[in-house]
Amino acid sequence: MTTLRERNIEIEIPDALSGRKFDDWTHGLSHCMKAVDFIIELTDRILFIEIKDPPDPASLPPNAKGDYVEKFLSGEEDVDFYRKYRGSFLYEWAAKRTQKPIFYLILVAFARLTEVDLLARTEVLKRKLPVADAVPETAGWQDSFVAGCAVFNLDTWKQVFPTYSARRISA
């Protein structure tokens, strides 16, 4: 069982081969690369997980002002999300740890977000990364840059991943 914690949010992945906090001091390249919160290896894939917890101001970027959820819904956070994926992918690729399909999961732990909101942000992110099925054949890519991505709140996470517990530790 792998248990990972980002401030007030805890995730348990029972079938993980390994899991690690990635955006801490061990990253070593934070001066030039953004990083996702966690990298989890499963038998058949790798998960890059980013967590935002708007009710916990300490979990937000230092430059976050005003209503984080409004910024999230307007797309202002998209650049940060895809830069975190790209920096993390490049780091892992250079370390030769990208041999499995990679899925990027963003958990925004705020109940106010509807399924429509989450789907809209997911679709934008798919185009910006780009997800494998959005890459034209003329690109000639032999490997996938990102196999898939999705944006969740705590309720939708539980629906899609019933065996991967995600919860707020304290109210």
The burial of 138, by beta-carbon neighbours within 10 Å (0-12 exposed, 13-18 middle, 19 or more buried), is given as exposed
Q: Considering only CA atoms, which of 157, 103, 92, 97 is closest in space to residue 126?
A: 103
Write down the pLDDT at residue 63.
67
Q: Tell me: the pLDDT tens digits for 8-27?
A: 999 999 999 999 999 887 77
High-pLDDT (> 70) share of the chain, %: 93
CA nearest to 109, candidates 148, 157, 43, 67: 157
Q: Is-contact 146 89, C-beta < 8 A? A: yes
Please give the C-alpha separations between residue 39 and each of 22, 27, 90, in angstroms, as whole numbers. 6, 12, 13
CB 156 within 8 A of CB 115: yes
What is this structure's pTM? 0.90
Tens-of-pLDDT digits for all 171 residues of the chain? 899 999 899 999 999 999 999 988 777 777 778 999 999 999 999 999 999 987 766 666 666 656 778 888 899 899 999 999 999 999 999 999 999 999 999 999 888 889 999 999 999 999 888 887 777 777 777 777 899 999 999 999 999 999 999 999 876
Average pLDDT, the chain: 88
pLDDT of residue 1: 86
The DSSP result for 57-112, as a single string, is GGGS-TT--S-HHHHHHHTTTHHHHHHHHHHHHHHHHHTT---S-EEEEEEE--TT
Domain ranges of the chain: 2-168
Q: How many helices (H) and strands (E) does the chain have?
A: 4, 8
